[in-house]
Structure 1
Amino acid sequence: MYRFLLTPRWWGINVFVVLAIPFCIFMGSWQLGKFEDRVDTHQEAESRPAPGEQVAAPLEQLLPVDQETSGRPATATGVYGKQFLVPDRELDGRNGSYVLTLLKTDGGRTLPVVRGWLASGKPAPAAPDGQVTVTGALQASETSGTDGVHTAGGLPSGQLGMISAASLVNLVPDDVYDGWVTLTAADSGLVPVPASVPEGSGLDLKAFQNLGYTGEWFVFAAFVVFMWFRLLRREAEAARDRALGLEPEPV
């Protein structure tokens, strides 16, 4: 009755099943591992002091920016230079701009400094003159997936869509740090911009997406097994009916 399993059609079905089930289990396990990694990272972050509560350290000691150093208070000394507005940034439900001023540090590199948030329509205050020492929360460079960034271009002169070394490379001649700081105490006339939580450090939507994908891959594996048994049963019943003369032989 089951000689049909040796036909080329069923050889193809069996090979597909043999390959599909391990693949689905592997992908489900991989997604589960990603979720567990995020849980472990979240637990480690919870066990450490909050980044903003730690002692400020020189900028160079905290680079490169990672999940441990993101949000840490960093200090740098230099002279303010070119200034930009970063538009369409919300704070407490209000629309405005970040005031981003480039700090030429004593080491020769340039650090983007968000001096604060400014409501739409208001003029940005000038940066302090002379040498200054700034203290602010260290942040990783923004990407196209960061909330509020402009990636399409077309902004007026003096505005910047994304805070990153890549977006500044053609605007300033200096070597720009791959990271930026938001001042702990904003300059006069500005509102402090709170530090953002580093990506992948908490149980956010992406973490639960990993968990959801885990379930989907295991369901796919179970569905493959279910469909194989269903096809097998249907084919066996058809073979039995043909043997009893209840169904004509296939041409």
Structure 2
Amino acid sequence: MYRFLLTPRWWGINVFVLLAIPFCVFMGSWQLGRFEDRVDSHRDAGEQAASNEREAARPLTELLPVTKATAGKQTTASGTYGRQLLVPDRVLDGKRGFYVLTLLRTPDGKALPVVRGWLPGPAAPAKAPAPPSGEVTVTGALQASENPGENGVSAAGGLPSGQTAAISAASLVNLVPYDVHDAWLTLNRGDAGMRTVPVAATPDTGLDLKAFQNLGYTGEWFVFAGFVVFMWFRLLRREAEFARDAELGLVPDEEERVPSPSGT
């Protein structure tokens, strides 16, 4: 009854099934591995953040350029404050407000963006306290430059003068006449009564949408593998029932099943 399995048609079906199932299992396992890597990265990032808070601040020059290993570490820098900008549409504890960003001119001739604090409400220069004058030394957490459109950072253009959507050297270099470090610093304590801006998570280290997409893809690939097996058994059963009916004479001959041209 199962001699049909030796036909060319079923050889093709069987080969497809034997290739499709391992492929789906492999892809599902790979996506699951990606999700587990992100879980481990999220846990490591949490442990690293706790470790960074306990470490002593190091000079800025020792931590540049910013990497996953140095992002969030305590650093110290000296210089004089220069131009001040506002970063609108920043949420803190569920409230919308803005960052007060001031460029610190360092001895190497570049400027370090320093987020001095957060204020609620729409961005307005009159609300932002003026930076201290003269030589200052700041201490805070080192951060990597932001990418517009990612991690909640606005990519909107056309902002009023004195505002920037992203804290990045690529954006700020067009707003000031001097070079800018490809990094920024958030003070450990908000300046002039402003609220402290918490340390941002290092990109690609959290349980974000990409992580749960990997988990979703894992389920999809395993479902595909199960669907292939289900369809193979369904075709097998239908073909076996047809062969059994043919052996019992319950299936009409081909000539009887094909109507004549005259319709008789």
In structure 2, the gaps of 5 or more residues are: 259-264
What TM-score, normalized by structure 1, do the two folds share?
0.84
RMSD: 2.7
Query: In structure 1, what residue type is equivalent to 2:181?
Result: Y
Q: Secondary structure at the match of 2:116?
A: strand
Shift in CA distance, 45/97, structure 1 to aligned 2, threshold 3 Å: closer
What are the equivalent positions in structure 2 for 1:234-249 lying under 5 Å apart? 234-248=238-252, 249=254
Distance 2:103 2:109 in 1: 12
Q: Match for residue 262 of structure 2? A: none
Structure 1 stretches of at least 4 aligned residues deviating more than 6 Å after TM superposition: none
The answer to whether residue 179 in structure 2 is matched with residue 145 in structure 1 is no
- Of all paired residues, the percent bearing the same amino acid is 65
Pairing 1:107–2:87 present: no
Partner of 2:32: 32
TM-superposition CA deviations, 1:162-188 (whole Å, max 9, x none): 112232233234333222111112221
Q: Could you list the runs of 5+ residues in structure 1 that have no partner in the other structure?
A: none
Give the 3-state SS of the residue equivalent to 1:50 in structure 2: helix
Displacement of 1:236 in angstroms is 2.5
The 1:12–1:133 alpha-carbon spacing in structure 2 relative to 1, beyond 3 Å, is farther
TM-score (norm 2): 0.81
1:127 aligns with 2:131: yes
Larger Rg belongs to: 2
CA displacement at 1:59 relative to structure 2: 1.7
C-alpha distance 159-3 of structure 1, shift in aligned 2 (>3 A): same
How far does residue 212 in structure 1 lie from its aligned partner after superposition? Answer: 4.2
- How far off is 1:161 after superposition? 1.0
- Give the deviation of 1:195 after TM superposition: 1.0
Question: Any idea what the Cα deviations from partners look like across 1:53-94, whole Å, max 9, x if unmatched?
Answer: 211111222233333322211112222222211111122332
Gap change, CA 1:164 and 1:16, over 3 Å in 2: farther
1:117 is displaced (CA, Å) by 0.7
DSSP 3-state at the match of 1:98: strand
Deviations 1:125-179 (A, max 9, x none): 22222332211111222222212x2213121111111112232233234333222
Q: For residues 189 and 169 of structure 1, what CA distance do their matches in structure 2 show?
A: 28
- Classify the secondary structure of the residue corresponding to 2:192: coil
Query: What CA distance in whole angstroms lies between the structure 2 residues aligned with 1:30 and 1:180?
Result: 36
Count of matched residue pairs: 249
Deviation at 1:97, TM superposition (A): 0.6
Note if contact 1:83-1:158 (Cα within 8 Å) is conserved in structure 2: yes
Relative to 1, partners in 2 of residues 1:171 and 1:247: Cα closer, same or farther, differing over 3 Å? farther
**Cα deviation per residue 1:27-70 (whole Å; 9 max; x = unaligned)?**
21212222332343345456554322211111222233333322
State the alpha-carbon separation in 2 of the partners of residues 98 and 54 from structure 1. Answer: 26
- Contact (CA 8 Å) 1:51, 1:69: kept in 2 or not? no
**What residue is the counterpart of 2:160 in the other structure?**
156
Query: CA 1:46–1:172 in 2, change beyond 3 Å: closer, same or farther?
Result: closer
Whether the 8 Å contact between 1:34 and 1:210 is mirrored in structure 2 is yes
Q: Is the 8 A contact 1:142 1:163 kept in 2?
A: yes
Q: Amino acid of the residue matched to residue 73 of structure 2? A: R
1:166 to 161, 166, 170: 170
Mapped to 2, the partners of 1:35 and 1:177 lie a distance apart of 33
State the SS of the aligned residue for 1:66: coil
Shift, 1:115, TM fit: 0.9
